[in-house]
Structures are given as structure tokens and as C-alpha cells.
Structure 1
Amino acid sequence: MGGACKALLPLAGVPLLAHAVARLEPQVERLALSANGDPARFARFGLPVLADADPLGPLSGVLAALDWAVALGADAVVSVAVDTPFFPCDLVPRLHLAAETAPEGLAIASHAGRAHPTFGLWPVALRADLRATLARGDARVMGFATSHAAAEAVFAPQTPDPFANLNTPEDLACAEAHLAGQP
């Protein structure tokens, strides 16, 4: 996207972050944004902005969220990707149901036979192990999920793909067309 902050890119005249907030807010108690750099660029959203202690990728953001959640007395956090505006409106309850079958309560989303571990329910009980994993330089989201026997919340195939990332101007144009009701 030419180095632009994806969270602030407009889709149907609204920043991608606003789309994510609209989908996730009804499903959770509190929201926070995992982002590095100047947090002031997100001030209009009124969300706590959680910076990574050691930016190694999405797992660093999950750790920052777990640290934030522990201070609030929460048991878990849910992560989503801001550049995925069509994620399911029932993501959180489905992740919770899947987590009930996982030995450590970790669950990730799966769609059309593909795991999407950036969409996950992360128990705060895994915080110390996640910190140790990142300290070893291992930042593979799927690797961590697999090592903790994450359950998968399976979502049926649909159009558009609810877990498709908007990574190019063409992806953004397709999402605009979908919202406008065009094929």
C-alpha cells in the first residue's frame, strides 16, 4: 500500500480501523489497538494504543495485549487484523467455543482449510511462555499456536473471504466493489 498506515486507509470513506472496531466492539468488553510508532495518529478512535516492547511481528502485539489485559483482570484477549474488514461478526463466540476444546484454551480461526492465527483467542495464562518464546527470537504465530495445541474455530467458505487481507490497491478496490454491491 505504498508504506501507508493500513489502519487509516479509507474503505468506503471510513478508515479500515473503524471497520474493525465496528465488527469487534459488540463482541468484546474492551478494545485496544496494537500499534507501534506515534500513537497520536489514532487519537480520534479513543482506544488505548499498545506498543510492542520488542517488535518482532504479530506475536509481539499479542504479548502487549496480554500484558494490558492482565492489568485489567481479564482472562484472555482476542486478536484481529485491521486490514481484514470482513472478518465474521460472530468471531469471538466461535473462538470461545473452540477454546473450550483446547487444553490451554487457545483458539484460532480457520476458513476454507486454512488457519488464520492472527485471529485468535489468547489466554493470559500463556503470557510467560509467549514472552520466553519471543525472547528466543521465535515470532512464528502459527508455531506458537501449534505448540499450545490451539483449537480451530472453523468458518464455512463464503464470499468475500472473511479473512482476506487488503494488501494492494487492487484488494482495496475489490473490497470497495463488494461494499457497493458490485460483483
Structure 2
Amino acid sequence: MGYFGLILAGGEGRRLGGVDKALVPLGGQPLLAHVMARFAPQVERVAISANGDGARFAPWSQGCPVLPDPPAHLHEGPLAGILAGLDWAQAQGAQGVVTVAVDTPFLPHDLAARLAGEGPALAMSSERRHPTFAAWPVGLRDEVAQALRAGERRLGRPLQGARAVVFEAPPDPFFNINTPEDLALAAGRAVR
């Protein structure tokens, strides 16, 4: 099997008033529905990385599993979610996971195809690196676990030396929604 998909949906949405980002509405659908519609066709299987009651995602998750953080790393950020995703992928016989953020409704339609391959890879735009959008081979599992044990929370450390894949299609496909202003911009973009 190739790479599976993992939607990182554990954000607390503090700048959006503490709401569950996955369920923030955009154009009549929650962000999770937008991301699922763009990402699910790109991979064989998808899981959602999130803590709490996974049933809240049921109407939009297309039956995919909701993976909580590993107990030893509960609420330690997206790296903990990636560890859970790698464990899930490895148990299913997959090569690894391609990760995306739930607050990025305009992610590239060819993201998984361009990232998945040999070894780790991460997306780049002309402005910067986007380690949230990356291919994580199951062989990185121990390195991710070690980084978490060492107190690391950023995604970049285990991806050092990863192949960079540049996405230059304007407008920014990695635009993420963090504030009410971002949500308004996304709503304007979605209407076009």
C-alpha cells in the first residue's frame, strides 16, 4: 500500500473564540468537509487526528477513523497526532501518511501525488516551508517518538533533510484560517 492521509484537526481555535476549527462553517459546510472533499480523493484511506469525541465529525468524516493522541503525549500538539497517524498507517500496512491541516480549505488537488514517494517530503510555497503538509514514511515513527520524548513539539525537526516540493499556484493553496478576518477572506475566495 502507498500513503494514507491524515487530517490534523486538533487545533483549539483560540483566535476564533475557542471553537473546534474542524467545525467552523465556510460557505455552509464545516472546514472539515472542505478539506475532506479535496484530500480524500488523493489517498486510499484518511484518518482524522483529534482528541475528544470523534462522533462530532461523523456527518463529514466519510466513516474514517478519528485518532486521539497517544496517551503518553496527550495534547502535545500536531507531532503527537502524527505519531498516532504513523502507528495507524503502519498497522494497516501503509508506507506512511501525508498530512494536511483542517483549516486549509484550498489545499492543492495534487498534494499527495507530489509529496508521496521515497522518503520524507514537505510542501513549500514561494514564501516559506509548510511542514504541516508533508509525507511521513512509517520509518520516521521512532524519530517522531524520540522528538516528543525530548520535549519537541515542532514538526520541522523530524523533517530535517526532507525533500521540498514547491507549489506556486496563486492564490496561496496553504492559506489557513486562524482569525475571523481569515474566515472572511476565505469566504470571499470560496464564492469566486
> What TM-score does the superposition give when structure 1 sets the normalisation length?
0.90
**Residues 153-178 of structure 1, C-alpha deviation per residue, up to 9 Å, x if partnerless?**
1011511x111110011111111111
- In the alignment, which residue of structure 1 is the partner of 2:68? 51
Matched positions, count: 172
Amino acid at match of 1:37: G
Q: What is the one-letter code of the residue matched to 1:12?
A: G
Partners of 1:68 and 1:48 in 2: CA distance: 9
Distance 1:8 1:156 in 2: 28
Equivalence map 1:119-158=2 (5 Å)? 119-146=133-160, 149-158=161-170
Aligned with 2:128 (options 114, 119, 124): 114
Other-structure match for 2:113: 93
Determine the C-alpha separation between the residues in 2 that align with 1:11 and 1:113. Answer: 25
- Matching of residue 31 in structure 1 with residue 51 in structure 2: no
Match of 1:16 among 4, 19, 31: 31
| Structure 1 segments of 4+ aligned residues over 3 angstroms from their partners | none
3-state SS of the aligned residue for 1:141? Answer: coil
**Following TM superposition, by how much is the alpha carbon of 1:43 offset from its aligned partner in structure 2, in angstroms?**
2.2
The answer for the alignment partner of 1:174 in structure 2 is: 185
Q: Note the alpha carbon deviations across 1:109-145, whole angstroms, 9 max, x for none.
A: 0001300000010000111121111111112211221
Task: Name the residue aligned to 1:79.
Answer: 99
The 8 Å contact of residues 140 and 158 in structure 2, kept in 1 or not, is answered as no
Could you say what the CA RMSD is over the residues aligned between the two structures, in angstroms? 1.1
What amino acid sits opposite 1:153 in the alignment? V
Distance 1:115 1:73 in 2: 29
CA distance in 2, matches of 1:179, 1:37: 29
Amino acid at match of 2:67: L
Question: Structure 1 CA distance, aligned partners of 2:146 and 2:186?
Answer: 38
Say whether the 8 Å CA contact 2:143–2:158 is kept in structure 1: no
Q: Give the structure 2 partner of residue 64 of structure 1.
A: 84
Identical pairs, percent: 55
In 2, the alpha carbon distance for the partners of 1:95 and 1:4 equals 30
C-alpha separation in 1, matches of 2:57 and 2:190 = 24
Residue 7 (structure 1) aligns with: 22
8 Å CA contact retained: 1:112, 1:157 = no
**C-alpha distance in structure 2 between counterparts of 1:180 and 1:25, whole Å:** 22
